Structure 1
Amino acid sequence: MKKKKVLFVTPFFPSFVLSDIQILRENFSIRINNYPWQHKILAPAFFVIQFFSVFVNLFRVDVLLTSFGGYWSVWPVLLGKLFRKPSFIILHGTDCASIPELNYGSLRLPLLKWACKISYQHASRLLPVSESLGNVFLDFDPVLIHKSQGIHYHFRDIKTPVTAVYNGFDHKLWPYEAFTKKPPNTFLAVMSAAQYRLKGGDIIEEIAWLRPDLDFKIAGLNALQKPLPPNLQFLGKLSQQELSNAYRSSRYYLQLSTFEGFGCALAEAMLSGCIPIGSSANHIPKIIAGNGLILQKKDRTMLLQAIQQLLSLSKPEEISRKARRHIIKNYSLTRRKETLSTLLNNYEQPN
């Protein structure tokens, strides 16, 4: 059977976007549309250029698929609707949120929010990576002001069909390390510098001061320019192989996010045999699903108690193995490929 042709639009190429392109290429002929939208001063020029690029490619493809909502999703959606070509938008999290106090979320910027609204309103279907991106109340961080988030909270009049398609993971890329082979008392978290408070770097720093007997590492950013506890190490940006090694060298993983579209690093860590402590935000409790602990509030005392509970587990090896099996069963790359392929292949534009 002849492969359908897909115009894949993305503003940048994080690992999960590259993964989507790779798995879709098995069933579709993919054309990439990408401009460096992070250069904000040039965004108006890219917006004009992209119109002509999408217009030309529109007659060469069968489906338009955009990763992340934003300025770059407007023309694929509007032109797709005008010429009756199905258009889908994969939503990842930042494109469903407005949290000004954390400097997070595309929807806190009025013009970008307008672009997202137009895109979401006229797309054929929205594909968030978890159901929580539709509507969620964030009560993990007590000091958070903007607790209600999600596309249906911010855009209450949008009727576009929504299908959650979970991220998927190749377990071969994240090999399991027996729990007993990992150094004891080792904790890992992954975040960028901009996500330090969003993903709980601040409370990890507090706990490191209070528990000098434990070893904490944070991958994804360099050390902050301030006094830090000696048992808190910053690993900087890591390659996939380096990150895998970091997971396999840690017994426990900390996903203490105030808001989390999905939690890819959490799933990777669980595949690698880490036992997690996760926040109660968004989809995190479903990823952990009894194979670790859920912290209900961003509270230092509660986190200290949870850490001590992990350290006192009688059968950690069993939980570690169950965590890996849970991710393989529920968040496989094969499942994501099959779900996306079915949606793109079988969608019929309504009359």
Structure 2
Amino acid sequence: MTPVPQNPPRILFFSTIFQPFIEEDEVILSKHYHLETVIARGAGALLRLPGAVLRSDLAYCWFGSVYAAFTVFLAKLLGKKSVIVLGGVDASKYAEIGYGIWLSPWKAFLLRHAFPKADRLLAVDPFLQQEAARLAGYDGANILSIPTGYDPEMWHPGGEKEEMVLTVASCENMWRFKKKGLDKLFDAARALPHIPFCVIGIHSSFVPEIEAVKPANVTVISYVPRSELVRHYQRAKVYCQPSYTEGLPNSLCEAMLCGCIPVGTRVGGIPSAIGETGYLVDYRDQAGLVAALQQALAASPDLGRNARDRIASEFTRARREQSLCRVIDQLCSSNNR
């Protein structure tokens, strides 16, 4: 690991969960700053945060949550800087599928006051940037868009592609099933009975609930270690992201780096990732989804190479690292004036 420079800013790195994309930010920031990492929720988080904020120059929170709002208010009180990273659920309000923190009136009240008070909100996609400002009811002048970054050496093509459709989606209940568009995917699989589909990430406890509606040509794999996902991406010619809403989908970007031809719905950050290298359809256009999958399966492998090149050039770890450090350095230098 690169040595931390002498006398760098002290950063509180906070999240209620510790997913790989959050861990990657921790690794990036630890190269440049003294980090105090707090991964907690409930009373434990509320007890630890005041002292951690007091010891820091800046608080960096993943996801806009009640805890992030509490941290922003503490930072303001103590004269510290604060940053919230917006990933999706924190800029969403979709009653139809019961998704988004803004569906809760009291949580929405807290975020409506916290978002404008944070020194920076960093959305992983411009769509979330716009939605956060709209839901919080202000001009969003403190919101920037900095996409997550991906490693083209970790995620890379390998071997011959198979005529199959892959989707990776962590799913443990029906609202996640619908949020990820897996009901749409199952319908598409029924319309293409000769094409094998594979869905990775449906929790074993939830599999019995969907067994009756799962088409025969869909294989469900409950869990695959992240290190082994690459071989599944490498096999599939087509990756499908048929979501109701998304931030910037990590699995989609990883699959594109592995040469999958992407098919996705025209929502959230999916168009930002796919660009002109795949196929986009409206969420409710089921016939369009089936047609797009057919086109992708018949497409030249060059399209998969174009998809890889897009993520490898536009969504790099180096770009995220530079952007995050620029924001933090500017905020911490203003703290010292």
Scaled by the length of structure 1, what TM-score is found?
Answer: 0.87
Q: Take 1:204 and 1:6, find their aligned partners in 2: how far apart are those partners?
A: 42
CA–CA distance in 2 between the matches of 1:202 and 1:151?
27
Residue 350 (structure 1) shift: 11
Instruction: Choose from 171, 176, 182 the match for 2:157.
Output: 176
| 1:45-97 deviations in Å (ceiling 9; x for gaps) | 34642xxx333233432211010111111232112112221100001010111
Match of 1:317 in 2: 301
Query: CA 1:98/1:76 → structure 2, altered by over 3 Å: closer, same or farther?
Result: same
Are 1:63 and 2:61 an aligned pair? no
The residue that corresponds to 1:255 in the other structure is 241
Letter in 1 for 2:157: Y
Q: Which amino acid aligns with 1:323?
A: A
Where do 1:60-139 residues align within 5 Å? 60-135=55-130
- Measure the CA separation in 2 of the matches of 1:86 and 1:320: 42
Tell me the distance in 2 between the aligned counterparts of 1:75 and 1:311: 48
C-alpha separation in 1, matches of 2:44 and 2:114? 17
Instruction: Tell me which amino acid in the other structure corresponds to 2:29.
Output: L
Q: How big is the shift at 1:296?
A: 2.8
In structure 2, stretches of 5+ residues that fail to align are none
Distance 1:104 1:332, change over 3 A: same
Alpha-carbon distance, 1:103 to partner: 1.7
* Conservation of the 8 A alpha-carbon contact between 2:111 and 2:136: no
SS of the aligned residue for 2:280 comes to strand
1:215 and 1:111 map into 2 onto residues whose CA distance is: 45
The reply on whether 1:8 has 2:3 as its aligned counterpart is no
Larger displacement relative to structure 2 (216-225 or 197-206): 216-225
> Which residue of structure 2 aligns with residue 301 of structure 1?
287
**In structure 2, how many angstroms separate the alpha carbons of the residues matched to 1:14 and 1:104?**
19
1:21 to 26, 29, 39: 26
From the superposition, tell whether residues 55 and 219 of structure 1 become closer, same or farther in structure 2 (CA, over 3 Å).
same
> What per-residue deviation string (whole Å, max 9, x for no partner) do you get for residues 159-194 of structure 1?
55111110111112212225xx012x2101111224
1:343 aligns with 327
The 1-side partners of 2:102 and 2:18 are apart by: 21
* Richer in helix (by share): 2
Residues 77-86 or 211-220, more deviating? 77-86
- After superposition, the Cα gap between the structure-2 partners of 1:279 and 1:256, relative to the gap in structure 1 and judged at 3 Å, is same
The alignment's C-alpha RMSD in Å is: 1.9
- Residue deviations 1:101-132 (CA, integer Å, cap 9, x gap): 21211111122222322321211111111110
Task: Note the alpha carbon deviations across 1:220-240, whole angstroms, 9 max, x for none.
Answer: 114323242111011112211
- Corresponding residue of 2:166: 188
* Contact 2:267 2:283 survives alignment (8 Å): no
Q: Deviations over 1:275-324 (max 9, x none)?
A: 011111122112111111111342221122212222332xx221111111
Q: TM-score, normalised by structure 2?
A: 0.90
Identity among equivalent positions (%) equals 26
1:253-277 per-position Cα deviation (integer Å, ceiling 9, x unaligned): 0011121111111100000110011
Report the count of equivalent residues: 322
Aligned CA distance change for structure 1 residues 320 and 109 (closer, same or farther; 3 Å): same
Whether the 8 Å CA contact 1:69–1:91 is kept in 2: the answer is: yes
Query: Partners in 2 of 1:303 and 1:55 — Cα distance?
Result: 49
**3-state SS of the aligned residue for 2:178?**
coil
Q: Which amino acid aligns with 2:329?
A: N
Does the residue aligned with 2:247 lie in a helix, a strand or coil? coil
Specify whether residues 290 and 160 from structure 1 end up closer, same or farther in structure 2 by C-alpha distance, changes over 3 A only: closer
8 Å CA contact 2:237, 2:297 repeated in 1: no
Q: How many angstroms apart in 1 are the aligned matches of 2:305 and 2:70?
A: 46
Alpha-carbon spacing, 1:111–1:86, altered in 2? closer, same or farther (3 Å): same
Does the CA contact (< 8 Å) of 1:170 and 1:332 recur in 2? yes
Partner of 1:232: 218
State the one-letter code of the partner of 1:105. Answer: G
1:156 corresponds in structure 2 to: 137
- 2:116, 2:142 within 8 Å by CA — same for their partners in 1? no
Q: Is the 8 A contact 2:89 2:100 kept in 1?
A: yes
Distance in structure 1 (CA, Å) of the matches to 2:46 and 2:270: 39
Q: Distance in 2 between matches of 1:159 and 1:219?
A: 36
1:228 and 1:59, CA in 2 relative to 1: closer, same or farther beyond 3 A? closer
- Tell whether the 8 Å contact from 1:5 to 1:60 is kept in structure 2 after alignment: yes
Aligned to 1:147: none
Counterpart AA for 2:96: E
